[in-house]
A and B are shown apart, each in its own frame.
Chain A
């Protein structure tokens, strides 16, 4: 065992990479839940985003086009959830599960020709002086553009929820859909847009795994990242900055256990590999005492006649 082989600077830089997919998905789901909808299909939308992004960037040769395609793919799948929950008024828990089961099947169907293919590399930020700085350079100034986009998105969502009229309407719909309806807001339309946004974000997060983090396509490669993103929203008490914090915490655990595996610690690999999931459960337990910040209409079906 050789713990000195773990480089703290690289560790921080790679935990940011490990955190980005779940951060993107969690920010999307945060908006969905703020609008009062519980979409448990994050895992399905992520994996469909992963294959859409991968296939499109391999075909076009451009990772950025791939990411756009992944967002569209995720949003398209989430539209199925819109049809089920907003128009057919189906149970949201069951519909979310359906979305995940369907998404996992669809992704492996779409991905058949792409196993073992290498995607085009995503360019890294390379600023003349800043990227070469000793500690700050690798941590802050030499990542891919999507990672920065994730942080910007967190800031944008925070500002949108806190300072804008749109944010206020979104929260009103999530807190009390009947009151929002009575005020003349189009509850179904607002929720539809929120769900599509969540789908696009989850798609981006999935593509980040298949295009940058791994980068390869394998079936079921998201391996529960979507579910962890869902847990992250609870962890964050529906606050964007806390979602960022949680994602980095979680990314840190993931990277740390991989590093420990590589360093040959005397703990069996299986126990290290299960640690992120166990810690997610632990965090859920610690934080679920406080449910007061959950949107009041979360998971309830809205029908104008009621």
Chain B
């Protein structure tokens, strides 16, 4: 018989090792999945994980790693703060959309004026848009005790409708010959989220993501508020007795994650995407949930996990064009990663013991 024994303290070794083991297990299970689709599993895994980094065209793919990783990291950092305190914002996709729409709207309102202050204003507006969208579940939770999981998720569908309405109406390009979608911000110098070093993929969003990682690290390790977040998550009763104000925590965590998701949306729409279109969002808000868990809700872990997840996106696209691997297979692959991670987490908190009952 196998018996589980609760560890007095979470194992530090397994806490660090589970993401690695989970990635390896996902590679094996993913290989089986790819083989069942009639693709060579080894070639598929190599295409996904090796090709973008060291392959023939890696000079093209490496900058992509920053471009795709930055929004994931930015959103996941925000989510991790709430997740740690047991505040579940799963509507980051909606906050991402609202940040993009509001930010792009501010930028487009100035068109065709060229001025230095336009882009900073857009950044501010993007953060505010995401923040305001996240404040809805936050205020409802604080005031009425409404479940933030359901409200934030419902607001994703509402945000998608607002995006459609903006792309078809309010923000539509007046010179676009009636096609849906806004003006291309890449062609509007004052509003363009250009690369800081050309060809490196390093745009302002990437820089912001790095700053967010440092900020979150300092907050969680050196600041009273960060301590309260951790305390609430690990020992809610103790936190209550210690006088932690739960309402303040909810407003901060949801607001912060909303603002960061909004920023991610703005940097995406003003840079790599360029346009507000009906389907400009590609699910970063949901994938970021996987990133947050894969990074163990730790800022540095999230940094690594964000790049790993970006790798599966890029590698997945290569595998799609070279091996004909369906796009949905990559989505399943990412989902599997979260499964293995959650299952293997058992080893962090419990010790597996064999009991001699059956031998006797």
Contact = CB atoms under 8 A, between A and B. Distances in A.
Interface residues of B, number: 49
B101 to A, nearest CB: 12
Given A281-B154, A289-B144, A98 B335 contact: yes
Interface string A81-108: 0011000111101110110011111101
Contacts of A270: 161-162, 164-165, 168
Interface of B: 4-6, 88, 90, 140, 144-147, 149-151, 153-158, 161-162, 164-165, 168-169, 286, 289-290, 293, 326-336, 338-339, 342-346, 349-350
A116 interface: no
A108 B328 contact: yes
A93 B88 contact: yes
Q: Is the interface of A mostly helix, strand, loop or mixed?
A: helix
Contact of A93 (B149, B156, B158, B335): B149
Contacts of A93: 88, 149
A88 B2 CA distance: 13
Contact of A97 (B169, B289, B330, B349): B289
Contacts of A274: 157-158, 161-162
A79 to B, nearest CB: 12
16 contacts: A90-B343, A90-B345, A93-B88, A93-B149, A98-B335, A98-B338, A101-B286, A102-B338, A105-B331, A112-B326, A227-B150, A227-B154, A231-B150, A234-B150, A270-B161, A284-B151
Given A83-B343, A274-B161, A289-B144, A109 B150 contact: no
B204 to A, nearest CB: 29
Nearest to B345: A90
Contacts of B154: 224, 227-228, 231, 277-278, 280-281
Q: Is the interface of B mostly helix, strand, loop or mixed?
A: helix
Nearest to B5: A305
Contacts of A40: 149
Given A84-B343, A284-B150, A288-B147, A102 B157 contact: no
A194 B290 CA distance: 27
A189 interface: no
A interface residue count range (under 10 / 10 to 19 / 20 to 34 / 35 or more) = 35 or more
Given A105-B334, A234-B150, A305 B4 contact: yes
A281 to B, nearest CB: 5
Given A109-B331, A224-B153, 5 more contacts: A83-B343, A88-B343, A89-B350, A94-B293, A274-B157
Contacts of A231: 147, 150, 154
Interface in A208-256: 219, 223-224, 227-228, 230-231, 234
Given A90-B343, A98-B339, A106-B332, A268 B165 contact: yes
Pairs of residues from A and B, 7 with the lowest C-beta to C-beta distance, nearest first? A105-B331, A102-B335, A108-B328, A270-B165, A109-B328, A105-B332, A90-B342
A280 B339 CA distance: 29
B88 A89 contact: no
A225 to B, nearest CB: 11
A129 interface: no
A223 B338 contact: no
B155 to A, nearest CB: 7
A163 interface: no
Nearest to B342: A90
A78 to B, nearest CB: 13
A83 B343 CA distance: 8
A40 B149 CA distance: 9
Contacts of B332: 102, 105-106, 109
A303 interface: yes
A140 interface: no
A98 B342 contact: yes
A301 B162 CA distance: 39
A284 to B, nearest CB: 5
Contacts of B156: 224
A224 to B, nearest CB: 5
A157 to B, nearest CB: 22
A98 B329 CA distance: 15
Contacts of A268: 165, 169
B145 A291 contact: yes
B6 A284 contact: no
Given A231-B150, A281-B155, A108 B144 contact: no
B303 to A, nearest CB: 20
A223 B334 CA distance: 20
A306 interface: yes
Contacts of A277: 154-155, 157-158
A80 interface: yes
A285 interface: yes
Contacts of A80: 339
Contacts of A288: 144-147
